[in-house]
A and B are shown apart, each in its own frame.
Chain A
Amino acid sequence: MPALFSLQSYLLLSAMLFVIGLIIVLTKNNAIQIIMGIELIFNAAAINFVAFSCFRPHLLDTLQMSGQVIAIFVIVVAAADACAALAIILSLFRVFKTTRIQNINRLKG
């Protein structure tokens, strides 16, 4: 059994977050809650990058920081993603008067 503060527990936590995000994306019927699930999945991936780069032994300084730089890229992409998705949801709401994805079933509004 490894110690509590270790690479394994970070990886387990990020796997748990990924699975929770996947369940939210698959089961929720509101588009905004699906965005929340997607954000959780992005965060799980970023936690993996940072944990691997920080727990890796005998690494050069530039390589040590690469995981954090990629995590910052992930944060930026997630912000852009949320922005575009909310714009799409707002314009869908203007046509369909709802954000429940069961009721959004026509291609030509």
Chain B
Amino acid sequence: MFSEEIRTMVFFGAGMMTLISAVLIIFFNNLLHSAVALFFTLVGIAILYILLGADFLGISQVLVYAGGVLVLIIFGIFLTTPHVDELGSARKSIATWITIGFGFLLFRLLAKMILQMPWVTKIPQSRPTINSIGNLFLSKYLLPFELISVVLLFVLIGSILIIRKDLRR
């Protein structure tokens, strides 16, 4: 689908966008700024999926995450934060920097494991995936598919019950 150079360039750009905006979430104190950074992270991940040849997954990532979960989070911010600007202190405490240091050590460990492993891979070729995914949903993964719809129903009812004004009245 793509030539080698274009794929490498798009991968680099999307990966950089994902990582930089994810790091920015750590350093933003304003909740709305964090939500916008999260949006760019999710869109970057969708581009990475499409580069792998998983087109349906990329589309559903944009639809569900950037269109659903993120809007839900922004609704939560607007409903709970009276003054968005004056939230949190801009100063990073020493514990934050210690946590970032430990996170860096954990990443070094994971990266060492990943780079030592001799992976046998092939370059993914892109085919239309929707047919196969639909077949798998209704054949091999039928039970998880039905279970997850029941889970969604329960979460819907449970959220409404939790958020109701007063149960006794």
**Which residues of A are in contact with B by a Cβ distance under 8 Å?**
3-13, 15-24, 26-30, 32-33, 35-37, 39-40, 43, 47, 50-51, 54-58, 61-62, 64-66, 68-69, 71-73, 75-80, 82-84, 86-91, 93, 99-100
Contact indicator B69/A79 (Cβ below 8 Å): yes
Interface secondary structure of A, over-half rule:
helix
Contact indicator A5/B76 (Cβ below 8 Å): no
- Residue in contact with A84 in the complex, picked from B15, B34, B110, B159, CB distance below 8 Å: B159
Interface secondary structure of B, over-half rule:
helix
Contact indicator B119/A90 (Cβ below 8 Å): no
Q: How many residues of B contact A (CB 8 A)?
A: 80
Which residues of B have CB within 8 Å of A78? 65, 69
Given the known inter-chain contacts A27-B99, A47-B48, A72-B60, please indicate yes or no for A82 contacting B141, CB distance below 8 A: no
A80 CA / B121 CA spacing, docked (Å): 34
Contact indicator A72/B68 (Cβ below 8 Å): no
- Residue in contact with A17 in the complex, picked from B18, B53, B81, B115, CB distance below 8 Å: B18
Contact indicator A13/B15 (Cβ below 8 Å): yes
Contact indicator B69/A26 (Cβ below 8 Å): no
Contact indicator A12/B22 (Cβ below 8 Å): no
Contact indicator A8/B19 (Cβ below 8 Å): no
Given the known inter-chain contacts A87-B163, A90-B80, please indicate yes or no for A47 contacting B73, CB distance below 8 A: no
Which residues of B have CB within 8 Å of A55? 119, 121-124
